[in-house]
Structure 1
């Protein structure tokens, strides 16, 4: 069963089971702590009633994610049980029914999170936004993809993809909410064109709210096969935090002395590790020079693509069936080829 509920409490049963039914997920209710261990590893979500928290903790079940202690006005002992079980939280029912409904909505979404790829320009005008759009467009032909606009001073990715009139939530609306954000709610709430979802800005007055980003990204990767972040080069502390969250970070730079010098300064801020690679644009210097100056490996070389500026002006996005951007997408996202 997707949900394991370990309790003998009628009030907990009455608070949880109807929510499972409303979310369309199956629930196994077990009133014996020892018997519950048979389903402990396999359930996607484990809810331990505060009434059996001591009995379950005494059995020392294996640590796992997505375990919560639930109860109707749980006392201080519930928090001790949560620590002993390695639970993520103590849920007070029925007051936290909204939170639990969101958590149940994510059950069955995916066994493992999607891939988070960040794209940032080593210098202004390097083409990072163009590459981010191309990666998202290419992958969206294969699986659910979310393109996230984190650059408050950028052009607005909805305009580049002709999605400015598509209904859906933008950053401003998400910043006005709090609490846990469900993966399904986010996927179905943002503007979409087929498998491609877009999270961008609604107004000209833009500000990236970092606490909102921290809530959004976990839901984004739970609900999509790929999440592409278009990162602001001058994002300061926000850039460093977002870059650190990425599974892969692509730094786009022209192969020129000024471009690589600026890129080296940016790399010094975001760091160098095995997740970070250099996407090189045409210039007077070669791959070896670029790697020496920046300290990053060249993971792709993207030549100039004919007609890309006109395509962006018409809201068609940068990707064409063939060309440098399509070849770069295949090289940079090989698992989806």
Structure 2
């Protein structure tokens, strides 16, 4: 079930909840009978229980779950809070005072139901490993199949728009989001980003800029996940609380390592540090790499290996991006990594010659 569930017999309350649902762009399921509503209780992304039926529903003892809210028109009596506790409700909302909050809750539930994005964080195992370029390649390949978003979370990096040739594409960048104080909808972010076909990019404006504010990063990441099939995050190597939170929000982490002794040593330390955030796979840049030996040294599965791509710098300098051909080294490596992560994470390896 992908629709919010409203349980009430009170017509005035139902009218208000349906009005808010329409404004949020969702079509709820409505149940007047608490017993009948139990069929949809566990599957609904959000449950709004009218004050008029809350006690009756609590007496039925529905299974505990998140996302349950008791709602009423006007001030509610104190005993309602005891009923809410019996239901396992997260809170009690008084309308119309809580209209805006409930509107955002409904919109969020509707957006979450649409997609379950694959989120991939990419970080360099050492300086000059090419992590930003590989993050761009992943996003470009992912966008061939559906809506994808590339989030540039490295303020000291080259800028993913420069690598992709998006630097002259109009759209919102981090500086416009740094004063964000409210919920950012998936649709608003999707429509505002610099975009070419199915790929949207959230990156930095030219000139000096400071670190990412935590709230802006959190809201942007959440909106990107709700509005796209795949979200790729170009993560900085330096650890800070915001970076660690973004890494923790990624379902998969990919470390790009150079096949040299210093490159392996640096990447192994990084893998050890970030492995607490989630599953980690490694992409190794180098020829003639023994994947088993590399995985043993690095402490993580090797997703693929790849050699250097001819003409890469020229292609980027001309604003053509890193993937001039689907059969390029980067294109094949990115496609293999995406397939591996879709099929269950860092379990499979392979070589992109």
TM-score tier after normalising by the smaller chain length = 0.7 to 0.9
The 1-side partners of 2:111 and 2:219 are apart by 20
The 2-side partners of 1:76 and 1:214 are apart by 35
**1:225 aligned to 206, 214, 229, which one?**
229
The 1-side partners of 2:81 and 2:217 are apart by 28
**More displaced stretch, 36-45 vs 239-248:** 36-45
**More displaced stretch, 303-312 vs 131-140:** 303-312
Shift of 1:136: 0.4
Shift of 1:108: 6.2
Matches within 5 A, 1:20-35: 20-35=21-36
Q: Deviations over 1:4-48 (max 9, x none)?
A: 212244553343211222344323433332232233245443211
Which secondary structure state, in structure 1, belongs to the residue aligned with residue 53 of structure 2? helix
Shift of 1:127: 0.6
TM-score for the superposition, normalised by structure 1: 0.88
Describe the shift of the 1:241–1:79 C-alpha distance in structure 2 as closer, same or farther (beyond 3 A). farther
**More displaced stretch, 72-81 vs 89-98:** 72-81
1:15: which partner in 2?
16
Shift of 1:252: 0.4
Shift of 1:128: 0.5
Q: Deviations over 1:293-333 (max 9, x none)?
A: 22112111021111111222223221232111111122111
> Contact 2:213 / 2:242 at 8 angstroms: preserved in 1?
no
Residue correspondences, number = 337
1:202: which partner in 2?
205
The 1-side partners of 2:277 and 2:179 are apart by 35
User: Structure 1 residue 117 and structure 2 residue 120: aligned?
Assistant: yes
Cα RMSD after superposing both structures: 2.8
> Contact 1:44 / 1:108 at 8 angstroms: preserved in 2?
no
The 1-side partners of 2:197 and 2:11 are apart by 44
Q: Deviations over 1:134-170 (max 9, x none)?
A: 0000110111111101101112212222323433332
1:49: which partner in 2?
50
> Contact 1:110 / 1:223 at 8 angstroms: preserved in 2?
no
Q: Deviations over 1:264-285 (max 9, x none)?
A: 2222221268710111011686
**1:321 aligned to 326, 330, 338, which one?**
326
Describe the shift of the 1:116–1:83 C-alpha distance in structure 2 as closer, same or farther (beyond 3 A). farther
Shift of 1:262: 1.2
Describe the shift of the 1:288–1:26 C-alpha distance in structure 2 as closer, same or farther (beyond 3 A). closer
Describe the shift of the 1:259–1:301 C-alpha distance in structure 2 as closer, same or farther (beyond 3 A). same
The 1-side partners of 2:136 and 2:91 are apart by 37
Describe the shift of the 1:65–1:279 C-alpha distance in structure 2 as closer, same or farther (beyond 3 A). same
Shift of 1:77: 4.9
> Contact 2:117 / 2:230 at 8 angstroms: preserved in 1?
yes
TM-score for the superposition, normalised by structure 2: 0.84
The 1-side partners of 2:137 and 2:181 are apart by 32
> Contact 1:255 / 1:284 at 8 angstroms: preserved in 2?
no
